[in-house]
Chain A
Amino acid sequence: MSFVDSIAAGLSLVGNIESFLALFIGVAIGVIGGAIPGMSATMAVALTLPFTFAMQPITGILLLLGVYKGGIFGGSIPAILIKTPGTPASSATILDGYPMAEKGEAGRALGMALWSSCTADVISNLSLILFAGWLASFALSFGPPEFFTLILFSLTIIAGVSGESLLRGALSALLGLLLATIGLDLVYGTNRFTFGDPNMMGGLNFIAVLIGLFAIPEILAMVWHPTAHVGKARSLGKNWVTFAEYRRSFKSIVRGSFIGVFLGSIPGIGAAPSAFLSYSEARRTSKNRDNFGKGEIEGVAASEAGNNGVAGATLIPLLALGVPGDVITAIIIGAFMIHGLQPGPMMFILNVDIIYGLFIGLIVSSVFLFLIGTVAIRGFKYVADIPKRILIPAVLVLCIYGVFAVNNNIFDVGVMFVMGWVGFLMVRYHIPAAPFLIAFILGPLLEDNFRQSMLMSGSDPTILLRGPITWFFWTMTLLTIIAIVRAGVRAVKNTPLFDETPEN
């Protein structure tokens, strides 16, 4: 079947009102679900799944994909407005989005988040359509040694998000790595820091840690100093993102999208590291790098491009190999199977109409995302106008509900509270939170892949150098570390002993 035939077959499948309606509703559910902390894109997809059972396969799958795409964008709304990431993927957006909101520029930040998300979405979808086969073969060449080197390289992002002091960033990362060791050991199944509590055996819930680290310190800071905000403009304002700003950030958005496509096509990494990597790359190359972390619009653009770039690309391993890249695609694969479809190489031969129908739907979904996102921002803007001392207790209550809902476990609410105090202390001591979070996500992956590599090779470390992919990442890691060390040495040299200005 030729390309045109395939497209025609796909079009005949999705060219009806139900498909587009499902997609539209899906994106709307996703944006709302993503905007509710604790609800997250994952849960929104899981909740929508049962409704798809009775639908046509393509309609149901488009509904779920709409929820997924909408959810990843929706997460940035609370991240910017109330410093609570709606989905883990939007935690990088906080770094610059929330300072912008504090300055009364929430409208600009949200607008940029939307434009950047939609651009990344389009790039990601096009990559899926054009490079699915090629990227999929690439994905399967990622075994534990390749993962280990990729994650080692990703950990160098920490230097980019450490802020004023690299050492404090490192301390933050180590804290994250240590807390991530809680739970059952992967290889032997023995306890590590669980204190015999079954709730600890599963490890600390990621979303509870995330919300605890970002949202609760904000509440505690308010308790510490209730009138600090008085006199500061916080309303959404009339200002909206301008095309000039979009053009200025365009390079970062495209770079972030491709980082997202690359990391999305490899199963098991997910959107959060991609957003952070994109952010730190944007900061590294930007002219305004000193403004990053203080409300730089390009930072918002880069993070959102990084996480939305993943959304289309995670479908590459799903469709081409039948391998889910993260929890959300694992649920979507369930929807395929319920309808008797088996994603994998054969699907491109047997169900080519469905594949192309999905492609068409995905392209349309970017447009829907833009429309619904614009409406949603208008709807949510009132949050910025709520008096802060009413908003804060409401956020606290929302966090309690949301964190409970993630795993139906009251213990997680406690984890959130405790992490809130940790986060508050970190703020007082000027320790950045982002390295903690990156380390908390990547630490277990690093350890697991290292040990899996060692199991594969019978403890022969040369397996970590087994192919071009590993060589590539080792080189990248070394280059980055050299650059970091040189920058550090220069900073120390430029700071005379007992100078009044802080070093690093």
Chain B
Amino acid sequence: MTLKTFGAACALTLGVSGAALAEYPERPINMVIPYGAGGATDISARTIAEPLGAAVGKPLVMANVTGAGGATGSVAVQNAKEDGYTMLFARVGSHSVNPAMKATLPYTLEDFRFVTVYEINPVACAVSPSSGITSMEDLIAKVEEGGVTYSSSGVGSLLHLAAVMVLSEFGVEEPLTKTTHIPQKGGGAAATAVLNGTATFLCTNSSAIASFVANEQLVPLMVTTAEPVAGFDVPTAADLGKPALHQLVGWTGIAGPDGLPDDVADKWGTWMASATQDAEFLEKMTSRGSVIELMSPEDANAFIQGQYETFRKLVDDLGMRIEG
């Protein structure tokens, strides 16, 4: 124990003077992915790991720490040493929807220092073809009639909040009582629930339902971005006159514990700048429907904070916050 404290003290003093960390990284960096293998975050993380590893010059060890909607993995990084050797692939669910919705969350946004946001995922809403709904107006009309349900990958997920936010933006008052939320375990199950008629609609990352849309198993209604999304022949939020929905996008970023030294954050900025230039990476990500948009640490923080505040306001207005 004393040895550890001594070591930590050393690292701290040296860190301030910058001598020891001048050589950062001198060993492999642990990259925590707070979601399971095969998910959007996992694929995104493992795709950037290749060019990023080349830029860093040391191996990146990818570790999936799943559980509680990303909270278990996030806490692992929150409690890690602030030496830049444990970093987190933060995601919209774990770092803006969850903090906005869950009072019981064991961390807040202040516990992390974001070094970048590199990927934006448009959100799309879709219904099953058998529902007879073809446009947002149809959906809203159905909602007013009652009996409309929506699926999500769980309470406090992006999908949960997205459905409520879209309904609320389209003028549905009290969306929580007019519609029913049917949470599922995971994003795949959420899409299946709409396919088999368990739920009426869902709003999720466009990449998660792109194949269902291409196979005409799901009918898209809108996308939340200003620009159209390839494969989704539907109006954008801008076309529909709902610019407030542009905030509603998925993203993936990289964060460290709160006390991450400045020079480490700077290094990540340089590495990410070169990693996101990689042609293969760009091609793979864009073919999956992601928009690659590299943000500096300051921009990333502002972006996440802005999204958090929008979500938090909606959650508070509707009384959706989960206490206890």
Contacts and interface: CB of A to CB of B under 8 A. Distances in A.
Contacts of B210: 342
Nearest to B180: A455
B196 A330 contact: no
A407 B39 CA distance: 15
B153 to A, nearest CB: 11
Interface in A174-194: 183-191
A199 interface: yes
A333 to B, nearest CB: 7
A374 interface: no
A323 B183 CA distance: 17
Contacts of B72: 198-199, 201-202, 407, 409
B143 interface: no
A414 interface: no
Contacts, number: 142
Given A337-B288, A456-B182, A188 B215 contact: no
Interface stretch (A114-122, A139-147, A213-221): A139-147
A344 B217 contact: yes
Interface stretch (B21-29, B59-67, B236-244, B253-261): B59-67
A46 interface: yes
Nearest to A330: B38
A321 B128 CA distance: 13
B211 A322 contact: yes
B195 interface: yes
A355 to B, nearest CB: 14
B198 A322 contact: no
A133 interface: no
Interface string A439-474: 000000000100010011010000000000000000
A10 interface: no
Interface string A139-162: 011111000000000000000000
Contacts of B180: 455-456, 458
B129 to A, nearest CB: 12
B275 to A, nearest CB: 16
A333 B38 contact: yes
Contacts of B185: 186, 448
B195 A342 contact: no
Given A184-B155, A199-B72, A455 B196 contact: no
Interface residues of A, number: 54
A398 interface: no
Nearest to A143: B198
Interface in A195-211: 196, 198-199, 201-203
Contacts of B212: 322, 344
Nearest to B65: A408
Contacts of B106: 196, 198, 201
B64 A407 contact: yes
4 tightest CB-CB pairs across the interface, nearest first? A202-B67, A189-B155, A344-B215, A342-B211
Given A198-B72, A330-B39, A452-B183, 15 more contacts: A142-B196, A186-B155, A196-B106, A322-B212, A327-B37, A330-B188, A334-B38, A338-B43, A342-B210, A343-B211, A407-B65, A407-B66, A409-B65, A409-B76, A455-B182
21 contacts: A49-B38, A49-B46, A184-B69, A187-B183, A189-B101, A198-B72, A198-B106, A201-B71, A323-B191, A323-B195, A324-B38, A331-B37, A337-B211, A342-B211, A344-B217, A345-B217, A409-B65, A452-B182, A455-B149, A455-B181, A456-B198
Interface of A: 42-43, 46, 49-50, 53, 140-144, 183-191, 196, 198-199, 201-203, 267-268, 321-324, 327, 330-331, 333-334, 337-338, 340, 342-347, 407-409, 448, 452, 455-456, 458
